[in-house]
Amino acid sequence: MTEALPQQTTRGEQAKNKLIQAAIAQFGEYGMNATTRDIAALAEQNIAAINYYFGSKEALYLACAHWIAGFITERTRLPLQANSSGHDVRLTDKTTARQRLHQLSRTMLHLLTDDATLNISKFVTREQFSPTEAYTVLHERLFLPMHTQIAHLVALYSGLSPDATDTVLHTHGILGEILGFRLGRNTLLLRCGWQQFDPAGTDQIARTVGQHIDFILQGLSAQRGAVNDEKK
């Protein structure tokens, strides 16, 4: 009897995870028009399992948002933070700030060029264009912390204020370039003559984006220095 409980918990967690993965795929493709029947079938679970584990289709949708936020945050934790405490880290030197930005862009590019994360991208893109209650989850747990910490790295290198609109826009520009390799996937593959993204291609993309990040950082830093010289 005591041995059965951990096994039931494991089976339960496996069933919930299968439902979430299937739901991300279905919701990413069809939004809330996805049916619980199709989700359950894709997950190879009984349709009643959705209500049993989540209570409703809407609650399952929110669970997908929480799962996505946790998944991406966990994989970008090291480039963004100096420790595993989860607290915002204030850095004090430009070299480390640049290194962290390069590490983050490389990590994100490897995630975004992996076909296994395509359904996640579809789900998140839907929330950007047609936000629901799930967008609040994604924003508070994923987008805002990431955006804020990148802004601090940009500000540290350039001397700008991390909360200034210009810094926020430059931060968004960096993220936009990285995300563009997912959104413009087919165009890039055709232009480069690639069949798919392989490790060598992704590394080449990461080097290119790294160069662009350096252009932005060095340009902002030089511009800031020129402004300060004019004030003297």
Tens digits of residue pLDDT in 174-208: 999 999 999 999 999 999 999 999 999 999 999 99
Residue 184 class from Cβ within 10 Å (0-12 exposed, 13-18 middle, 19+ buried)? exposed
Domain ranges of the chain: 7-55, 64-225
Q: How confident is the model over 108-119, as a mean pLDDT?
A: 95
| Rounded-to-integer distance, Cα 46 and Cα 39, Å | 10
Tell me what the pLDDT averaged over the chain comes to.
89
Predicted confidence (pLDDT) per residue in 61-85, tens digit? 999 999 999 999 999 875 555 444 4
CB 39 within 8 A of CB 23: yes
Q: Which percentage of the chain shows pLDDT scores above 70? A: 86
Instruction: Report the percent of the chain where pLDDT is more than 90.
Output: 81
Please give the class, per CATH, of domain 7-55. mainly alpha
Q: Which amino acid is residue 20, in one-letter code?
A: I
pTM (2 d.p.): 0.86
So what CATH class is 64-225?
Answer: mainly alpha
pLDDT in tens, 134-174: 999 999 999 999 999 999 999 999 999 999 999 999 999 99
The C-alpha atoms of residue 185 and residue 196 are separated, in whole angstroms, by: 9
Q: Is the predicted pLDDT of residue 224 greater than 90, yes or no?
A: no
